[in-house]
Amino acid sequence: MGASIIQFWPLPLHNGGIGGQTTSEVLARFKSEVVGHGYERVIILCGTNDVLQNTPNLVTEISANLKSMGEIATEAGLEVVLSELPPAVWAGMDLSPTISAVNASIAQLAKEQGYLLVDYFSPMSGHPEFFPDGVHPSPTGYAVMEKALSAIVVQ
């Protein structure tokens, strides 16, 4: 569940990615797209658009929206997997410092709530070749993401 990084990823069995959406927009459609469809787990990867759009109170907003998504999923009996954001470069600007702050917040939320956590940032950092446009992974980048995810999620 997320935005364009999920939308373009060929891996998910059910792909709930919609390009350009912020965490608040993903939250608005979360329950209808996730609950009641027979899923056992939800993998949530969103927040990059919040960073790109310079959402006010960025870290707090992303954390609150992810927490709400996690609560909805938990109440529905789903296993929650939160995702740290991958690196991003936009308009020539390396967004790693902001993304690192967001990722620290996501990791803290996962720890507090007992959610699984996938780190996409570390294995992809320093590899601009994984991001042809600076944000969206290439097929090689998605392969790195799949490896990180499979290390956390057991089918």
Give the global pTM.
0.94
Confidence grade of residue 155 (pLDDT, cut at 50, 70, 90)? low
Instruction: Give the span between the Cα atoms of 49 and 9, in whole angstroms.
Output: 16
> Over the chain, what is the mean pLDDT?
94
Amino acid at 7: Q
In tens, the pLDDT along 29-65 reads: 999 999 999 999 999 999 999 999 988 899 999 999 9
Long-range contacts formed by 126-134: CB under 8 A, 24+ apart: 126/87, 128/89, 130/86, 131/86, 131/87, 131/88, 131/89, 134/88, 134/89, 134/90
DSSP state at residue 128:
G
pLDDT of residue 24: 97
- The structural domains of the chain, ordered by start, are 4-152 (3.40.50.1110)
